[in-house]
Amino acid sequence: MSNIHAVIITIGDELLIGQTIDTNSAWIAQQLNKLGIDVVRRVAVGDTKDAITNALDEELQKASLLILTGGLGPTSDDITKPLLCDYFGGKLIVNEKVLTHLKEMFAKRNRPILERNMKQAEVPDVCTVLFNDMGTAPGMWFEKDGKIIISLPGVPFEMQHIMTNVALPRIKDHFPGDAIVHRSVFTAGEGESFIAEKLLDIEASLPNHIKLAFLPDSGFVKLRLTGKSTNIEQLTAEIEAKQQEIATRLGSIVIAMDDMPVEKILGNTMKANGKTIGIAESCTGGYIGHYITQVAGASAYFMGSIVSYDNSIKQNVLGVKEETLTTYGAVSEETVIEMAKGAMKVLNVDYTLSVSGVLGPDGGTGRVKVGTVWMAVASKDEVKTKEFRFFYDRERNKEMAAKNGMLFLWKFINNKLSA
């Protein structure tokens, strides 16, 4: 087992009052993990000298690699750079490369460069600069008693850019270590407990260096195997054998052998079969189209979506009959069938998915309860329908409807609907 332990420290009052969700830590953790470095803790502290200094003191005792993000902006609530300079006993000096880059950035955007922006070119003379060609705040690399401390801006794409291009390669050189291998099995249709019960003996049979975790999300359950070893070939073979054993045991509820989102699973099917899809969505408001187009290259198979939020659009664009809407309502099997068939014509595709429901908090009626979502999938020859019930709030119900809709379409296209 490797002894390289990392701690991620995020700095900023906005994290402590909940105004910002910390996505940086998760991203950094993923990257370090690939290098075989364990993140043992993540700590968020406010923009005060005491809080930051205290976190540095404490976490340096627990880890050999600290990654700090945030606190490097041009405004006066950002105090991290001078603090780090003091902490490591240096003084601030202008870095000419950073200064030139700053001037160019402002010129390109036709904005005047201010004194406080120029200050961003100052760096402690006791650090190595991690050049930030996507933004104004440079990253910094400090070494102390054999430990590494890296400070990065908090803006996610700037942080990611510096990490990928500069910091991670340096970290890899500095800490050559054990390999970590992850393998996943992605399931839909059964709960966490039920699956755990079916895998009791397999879980018990795992060697000490392989762990199994259960990660439920929006009606899906991801199973993740994680192993660590110096021998990456042997570990990979071992962990893939366990992955296969689990998949065989779980049978038809397995939808992928990878940790990938449903839109990617659907996209892979479409890229392989050369067919096209289109959507007719109501309550999801465009969210399904959004998910599908998160996949680069989706234009090869995704033609479009008719977001028919109002009934007039269902009638005028998709050709749903007024009679159907008045007799059965917008949230009904009859309506989603006509939506899916209408979309086949309007979008001229091989397969369609239609979705109409009541996500809440209001909009329920005696006939249709909040959380009810009807869906239909259609091809040239066939239409299938399904009624879903989601029990949560508007936002979560929408996410579940979108993800389950893509899964429904994927199953239909792959002839797995009876499963």
- Restricting to residues 312-371, which ones interact with a second copy according to CB under 8 A? 312-313, 316-317, 346-348, 361-363
Q: Which of 332, 329, 389, 323 is nearest to 360 (CA)?
A: 389
Cis omega before residue 361 (within 30°)? yes
Among 321, 394, 414, 417, binds a second copy (CB under 8 A): 394
Residue 384 has φ and ψ, to the nearest 5°, of: -125, 150
- The answer to whether 167 and 140 are in contact (CB under 8 A) is no
Q: Which of 347, 187, 231 is nearest to 280 (CA)?
A: 347
Considering the complex, state which of residue 41 and residue 91 has its C-beta at the smaller distance from a second copy: 41
* Cα dihedral sign, 248-254-260-265: positive
Tokens linked to 47 = 């923009």
User: Does residue 76 belong to the site contacting a second copy (CB under 8 A)?
Assistant: yes
Task: With contacts defined by CB under 8 A, name the span among 24-32, 81-89, 245-253, 319-327 that binds a second copy.
Answer: 24-32
- Give min distance, CB of 414 to a second copy, in A: 23
Q: Which residues within the stretch 97-116 sit at the binding site for a second copy (CB under 8 A)?
A: 111-112, 114, 116
- Pick the closer one to a second copy by CB: 27 or 131: 27
Cβ nearer to a second copy, comparing 141 with 287: 287
Tell me how crowded residue 12 is: count the other CB atoms within 10 A of its CB: 22
How wide is the angle at C-alpha 230 spanned by C-alphas 227 and 231, nearest 5°? 85
Among 125, 143, 310, 382, binds a second copy (CB under 8 A): 310
| Among candidate residues 319, 398, 394, 390, the one with its CA nearest the CA of residue 352 | 319
Range 178-207, binding a second copy (CB under 8 A): 182, 191-194, 196-197, 203
Q: Which is nearer to a second copy, 305 or 332 (CB)?
A: 305
Of 250, 307, 340, 368, the residue at the interface with a second copy (CB under 8 A) is 307
By CB under 8 A, tell whether 386 contacts a second copy: no
| Closest alpha carbon to 238 in 250, 226, 254 | 226
Helix (H) or strand (E) holding 63: none
Closest separation between CB of residue 128 and a second copy, Å? 25
* Residue choice 4, 11, 28, 166 for contact with a second copy (CB under 8 A): 28
Whole-angstrom distance, CA of residue 390 vs CA of residue 375: 13
Q: Is 413 near a second copy (CB under 8 A)?
A: no
- Choose which of 288, 320, 353, 378 interacts with a second copy (CB under 8 A): 288
Quick one: 58 or 333, whose CB is closer to a second copy? 58
Is residue 400 a contact partner of residue 218, using CB atoms and an 8 Å limit? yes
Class of residue 109 by CB neighbours under 10 A (exposed 0-12, middle 13-18, buried 19+) = exposed
3-state secondary structure of 201: helix
Do strands 139-144 and 147-152 pair parallel, antiparallel, or not at all (unpaired)? antiparallel
Tell the smallest beta-carbon distance from residue 133 to a second copy (Å). 11
- Under rule CB under 8 A, residue 41 binds a second copy: yes
Q: To the nearest whole angstrom, how small is the minimum distance from the Cβ of residue 65 to a second copy? A: 13
Of positions 29, 92, 232, 254, contacts a second copy by CB under 8 A: 29
Distance CA 402, CA 284 (A): 7
Q: Using the rule CB under 8 A, is 241 a contact of a second copy?
A: no
Task: Give the residue, chosen from 104, 169, 395, 419, that forms a contact with a second copy under the rule CB under 8 A.
Answer: 395
61 binding a second copy? (CB under 8 A): no
Please, what's the largest Cα pairwise distance for the chain?
78
For a second copy, which stretch binds (CB under 8 A), given 50-58, 122-130, 244-252, 410-418? Answer: 50-58
Rounded to a whole number, what is the distance in angstroms from the first to the last CA of the chain?
A: 42
How many residues touch a second copy (CB under 8 A)?
106
Pick between residue 92 and residue 317 the one whose CB is nearest to a second copy: 317
Least distance from C-beta 285 to a second copy, angstroms?
3
In whole angstroms, how close is the CB of 283 to a second copy at the nearest point?
Answer: 8
CB of 376 to a second copy, least distance (A): 18
27 part of the interface to a second copy, by CB under 8 A:
yes
Among 165, 226, 379, 414, binds a second copy (CB under 8 A): 226
The span from the CA of 278 to the CA of 346, in Å, is: 9
List, in order, residues 6 or more apart from 372 with CB less than 8 Å away. Answer: 331, 357, 358, 387, 388, 389
Helix residue spans in 175-321 (DSSP H): 192-198, 200-204, 232-250, 262-273, 287-292, 311-316
